[in-house]
Structure 1
Amino acid sequence: MSDAFRKGARAGWADFLPMSVGLIPWAVVTGIAMRSIGLSPVEAMGMNLIVYAGTAQLGTLPLIATGAPLWLIFVTALVLNLRFVIFSAAIAPAFHDHHWARRVSASYLLVDGVFAVGADKMLGAREPEWRWGYFIAPSVWCWCLWQVFVLVGVLGAEIVPRDWSLEFMVTIALMLLMIPMARTRPMLLAAVAGGLGAVLLRDLPLRLGLFAGIAIGIASGFVAEHWQTRRAER
């Protein structure tokens, strides 16, 4: 490990540490939710290792529980994870001088929090090893934290009282990630329109209201950004 890598790792871990606290209840609730639909501990942890995406896991669990078609489960997970295409494209320049294995491992470990906290610093740094250390240290920390506390939820699912309604903590954790991203009007409009659309259309069959809400949010954000750009050019 070079000195630049160690410095980057320390900086990345220190920047991400406060946000990582919010992963703990989210991970526990995810573990409990997987057990609540009938998955065995082995199946739940297997899904957790392969998917490693809390939003996609929680979003597909109701479909798995109701025996929905495999294609619908796959498409739902794909749609819920579309944001990672944008995230990875945004930070790709920070990895252009790294070898293939590093880029593959980075794609698996990329999470919302690490992107939100470190994207600007990674893209602004010139030293490749510093960038890699800054990304990989909080990413590995996040992965370990997630696996450990999902396991806590999986093993403790029978102990936690049902009336605690811990699922609301997942919503709170997602809101904490979303709020910093909604600093511009197009992003805020996309979030509000998408959320309202998903709520109003929640009774559509096969959870298609979720897809409709995502489409409404994307379209609203695109239109708002286009209108804002044209207004600025005048």
Structure 2
Amino acid sequence: MSEPLSEPRPPVNLPHVDADAHHEASWREGLKTGTPTLFGIAAWGLVVGIAMVKTGLTVPQALGMTLLVFAGSAQLASLPLIAANAPIWVIFATALVVNLRFVIFSALLAPHFSHLPWRQRVALGYVSGDMTVAIFLQKYPNEKPQLGKLSYLKGLLYPNWAAWQVGSIAGIFLGSAVPSEWGLGFAGTLAIICITVPMVANRPTLVGVLVAGVVAVAAAGLPYKLGLLAAVVVGMVAAMAAEEMLANRKLKGK
């Protein structure tokens, strides 16, 4: 007589499967939390990319700077010094002072990841940014070990770094193509457009943006830049009026 079939054994690596699933979920949570900031980061990178080229750096020099430095405020602070042929030590000292806040960030993150190899900690430090560190510390204010903590941080850091590089590299090539007389004001305009467009999420907002744009152009000749103030006020009123009209339509529809 044949022996009865035995019950299937549970996989011995089930805890590892659960841990992997938890790490993936943490990474996705970090990505989801940090996604709203990526548009602003890319726009900021766009401004810095154009500024590097407009200051006189060649495209290869600008690409090298954005990939190696990855610090917008330090880059902008260093560019006038580079253009003025300041001594190297002055440029480095300026960038160091501007970026001293990252010493504080490192001190805050160190207790969370002191167990990691130093190479990995250096790599994480390179891709860390102001917003990503702040978001991480809001999620994990306590230093105690938690499953998925590193994955959550990576979900914040890597997309943030990629958004910056995409914006900055686009700015570098765009800056080398636009006429020099357009200056940095053109970069600021592009940055505002990049930030504004994703925020136009509904009809009242679209109405406010369009009305503000029309008023700004029509009132451009007013003294003391009052046309911009008028555009902001009229645009806000138009957006609120549009929202009120839509709310009334919904009530009547019921």
TM-score (norm 1): 0.67
Q: In structure 2, what is the Cα distance between the partners aligned to 1:170 and 1:127?
A: 43
Alpha-carbon RMSD across the aligned residues, in angstroms, is 2.4
Shift in Å at residue 23 of structure 1? Answer: 0.9
Shift of the 154–68 alpha-carbon distance from structure 1 to 2, 3 Å rule, reads same
Q: In structure 2, what is the Cα distance between the partners aligned to 1:26 and 1:120?
A: 23
* CA contact 1:98–1:128 (8 Å) conserved in 2: no
* CA contact 2:132–2:157 (8 Å) conserved in 1: yes
**Which residue does 2:168 correspond to in 1?**
150
**Which residue does 1:75 correspond to in 2?**
93
Q: In structure 2, what is the Cα distance between the partners aligned to 1:123 and 1:97?
A: 17
CA deviation vs aligned residue, 1:76-98 (integer Å, no higher than 9, x gap): 00000000000110121111232
- In structure 1, runs of 5+ residues without a counterpart are 173-234
The answer to whether 1:162 aligns with 2:153 is no
Q: In structure 2, what is the Cα distance between the partners aligned to 1:169 and 1:114?
A: 25
Shift in Å at residue 99 of structure 1? Answer: 2.5
| Structure ID, larger Rg | 2
- In structure 2, runs of 5+ residues without a counterpart are 1-18, 193-254
Shift in Å at residue 137 of structure 1? Answer: 1.7
Shift in Å at residue 10 of structure 1? Answer: 1.1
Shift of the 169–93 alpha-carbon distance from structure 1 to 2, 3 Å rule, reads farther
**Which residue does 2:34 correspond to in 1?**
16
User: Structure 2 counterpart of 1:114, which letter?
Assistant: T
- Off by >6 Å, runs of 4+ in structure 1: 169-172
* CA contact 2:50–2:187 (8 Å) conserved in 1: no
Shift in Å at residue 24 of structure 1? Answer: 1.8
How do 1:91-130 residues align onto structure 2 when only pairs under 5 Å count? 91-124=109-142, 127-130=145-148
TM-score (norm 2): 0.62
User: Structure 2 counterpart of 1:34, which letter?
Assistant: M
Size of the aligned set, in residue pairs, is 172
Match of 1:131 among 149, 156, 165: 149
Shift in Å at residue 118 of structure 1? Answer: 1.5
* CA contact 1:41–1:154 (8 Å) conserved in 2: yes
How do 1:1-234 residues align onto structure 2 when only pairs under 5 Å count? 2-124=20-142, 127-157=145-175, 158-159=177-178, 162=182, 165-166=185-186, 168=188
Q: In structure 2, what is the Cα distance between the partners aligned to 1:54 and 1:170?
A: 16
* CA contact 1:64–1:73 (8 Å) conserved in 2: yes
Shift of the 166–126 alpha-carbon distance from structure 1 to 2, 3 Å rule, reads farther
* CA contact 1:94–1:128 (8 Å) conserved in 2: no
CA deviation vs aligned residue, 1:57-110 (integer Å, no higher than 9, x gap): 011000000111111100000000000000110121111232323211111111
Identity %: 36
